[in-house]
């Protein structure tokens, strides 16, 4: 059995268009870590009353040192503060970002479920998609969900 032939695109996009696409992806990757951290910190503060670096590291599946480095970045960016022996807290800007990220996540999950992706897979896939999708795409997702009657999907 022969290998499938992969077809090249009929025409390459312009250099500027291609650079814009790759630049957007790199930018989204750079902010994805911060977004995951603020969302998790907000969740921990809401459910546990505190967000300790040890808990953050465990829940994100990273080392304690990696969590500390990322928390330091959050603080430099004005998204978080910390208090000795008290954990990490979000600034108003950090809380606002966490709310936007959570909303984006829910919308992407709702879309994936609406098109037939199982809930568990939709939750996993949304973790990557939510950081890369544009506001225009999110608006289209919301319109599609509203038309399809899938609005109001409740998370687990």
- Domains in the chain (CATH in brackets) are 28-91 (1.10.10.10), 95-148 (1.10.60.10)
Three-state SS for 82? strand
pTM comes to 0.76
Provide the pLDDT confidence category of residue 122 given band limits of 50, 70 and 90. very high
pLDDT tens digit string along 102-117?
Answer: 999 999 999 999 999 9
Q: Which helix (H) or strand (E) holds 68?
A: helix 64-76
Is the pLDDT at 156 greater than 90? The verdict is: no
Number of C-beta neighbours around residue 59 at 10 A = 15
Whole-number pLDDT of residue 149: 77
Q: Tell whether the model's pLDDT for residue 44 goes beyond 70.
A: yes
- Give CA separation, 79 vs 29, 35, 98, in Å: 18, 10, 10
């Amino acid at each position: 059995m022969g290998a499938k032939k992969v077809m090249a695109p009929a025409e390459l996009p312009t250099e500027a268009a291609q650079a814009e696409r790759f630049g957007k992806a790199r930018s989204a990757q750079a902010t994805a870590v911060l977004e995951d951290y603020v969302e998790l910190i907000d969740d921990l503060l809401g459910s546990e009353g505190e967000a300790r670096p040890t808990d953050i590291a465990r829940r994100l599946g990273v080392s304690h040192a990696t969590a500390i480095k990322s928390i330091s970045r959050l603080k430099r960016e004005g998204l978080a503060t910390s208090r000795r022996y008290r954990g990490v807290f979000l600034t108003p800007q950090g809380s606002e970002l966490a709310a936007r990220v959570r909303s984006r996540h829910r919308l992407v999950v709702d879309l994936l479920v609406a098109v037939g992706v199982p809930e568990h897979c939709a939750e996993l896939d949304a973790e990557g998609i939510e950081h890369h999708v544009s506001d225009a795409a999110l608006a289209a997702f919301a319109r599609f969900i509203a038309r399809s009657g899938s609005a109001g999907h409740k998370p687990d």
